Amino acid sequence: MSDPAQSDSAQTDSAQSDPARSDSAQNDSAQEEPRATEASAEPLTPLLEARGISRSYGSVAALTGVDLQVRPGEVVGLVGDNGAGKSTLLKILCGAVQPSAGQLLVNGEPVTFRSPKDSRERGIEVVYQDLALATELSVAENIFLGRERRRPGPFRILDRPRMATEAAAALESLAIEIHSVRARCGLLSGGQRQAVAVARAVLWGSNVLLLDEPTAALAVMESEKIGQLVTQVAKRRVGVVLVSHNMPQVHALCDRIVVLLRGRVVADLRRDETDVRDIVMWLTGAALSRN
């Protein structure tokens, strides 16, 4: 249970036994492909891509012609002032909201998501700030909610020991510190809950993780830990889209930073060619008048 190698294999097993993972083998093969790691090679096909996405609410244009790509192992920061359209874009990426125009692609293939269930089947998971953990259930129960392990036999009894072991291994493999997987989620701190929600998504083999302000309500130390968790997740070749107002954290964690201003992408910046001040200039619109 404390063997990290075992935790990894637990993850692999569960991923393989989950029908939702059937198309994610491409993710694994991308990892093995040597071309992918060569600096000058053509970039990997995005795990998830938005092309020309627009969305209006009545007369309000929440998004206009937005392009976004996230590739395996890439952390993309999505930043912008309040009302810039960040949450609307994340909701479109996971199928919770339908675009008025534009196209989504998964591994280069056009898709239509009618609900988050559709996106989940393609390995896309979203974690909101006010997340969907059941506070009265334990950590292990939350992780296995809807996908419970059962003992073989006619009664299909819940295999609680197995779920506890696998949940503990999953948390440990991501260096998430929770004293017991039998603890009720309602007793955990905000950061621990956020971490459990991320672990759940990773355990179930998501290859794209969408995080809407995961650290907004957290204390500094917890926010740091979620940052480390994002890095861990990306090392597993998961693509991450991180919405955050914490610019130092965005700059530290993200490979690219996409800036929305009144529903349009005004900048798509590589971490090594930008800094916090520059990002703030873009998201306030000051950089537009500067040029």
24 or 87: CB nearest Mg ion: 87
**244 touches Mg ion (CB under 5 A):** no
Cβ count near 285 (within 10 Å): 14
**123 touches ligand ADP (CB under 6 A):** no
- Per-residue contact track with ligand ADP, 40 to 59, x per CB under 6 A? -----------------x--
**247 touches ligand ADP (CB under 6 A):** no
138 or 249: CB nearest Mg ion: 249
The distance of closest approach from Cβ of residue 56 to ligand ADP in the complex, given in angstroms and rounded to an integer, is: 9
**80 touches ligand ADP (CB under 6 A):** yes
**60 touches ligand ADP (CB under 6 A):** yes
Q: b vs e for 47-79, b when ≥16 Cβ sit within 10 Å of the residue's Cβ?
A: bbbbeebbbeeeeebbbbebebbbbbbbbbbbb
3 state SS of 155: coil
Cβ count near 280 (within 10 Å): 14
Tokens representing residue 115 in the block: 């609900």
Give yes or no for a contact between 121 and 20, defined as CB atoms under 8 angstroms apart: yes
**87 touches Mg ion (CB under 5 A):** yes
Say which entry of ligand ADP, Mg ion, none residue 139 contacts (CB below 5 to 8 A, set by partner kind).
none
Give CA separation, 101 vs 86, 119, 120, in Å: 17, 18, 22
78 or 199: CB nearest ligand ADP: 78
- Select from 46, 73, 85, 191 the one that contacts ligand ADP (CB under 6 A): 85
Tokens representing residue 16 in the block: 């393989």
70 or 97: CB nearest ligand ADP: 97
The distance of closest approach from Cβ of residue 288 to ligand ADP in the complex, given in angstroms and rounded to an integer, is: 18
Say which entry of Mg ion, ligand ADP, none residue 62 contacts (CB below 5 to 8 A, set by partner kind).
ligand ADP
**261 touches ligand ADP (CB under 6 A):** no
Q: Is 73 left (phi over 0), alpha (psi -120 to 50) or beta?
A: left
- Residue 37 CB-half CA count within 13 A: 6
- Residue 140 CB-half CA count within 13 A: 19
60 or 175: CB nearest ligand ADP: 60
**62 touches ligand ADP (CB under 6 A):** yes
Q: Which stretch binds ligand ADP (CB under 6 A): 28-36, 76-84, 136-144, 186-194?
A: 76-84
**279 touches ligand ADP (CB under 6 A):** no
Contacts of residue 146, defined as CB under 8 A and 6 or more positions apart, other chains included, come to none
Give yes or no for a contact between 18 and 201, defined as CB atoms under 8 angstroms apart: no
Footprint on this chain of ligand ADP (rule: CB under 6 A): 57, 60, 62, 80, 82-88
Footprint on this chain of Mg ion (rule: CB under 5 A): 86-87
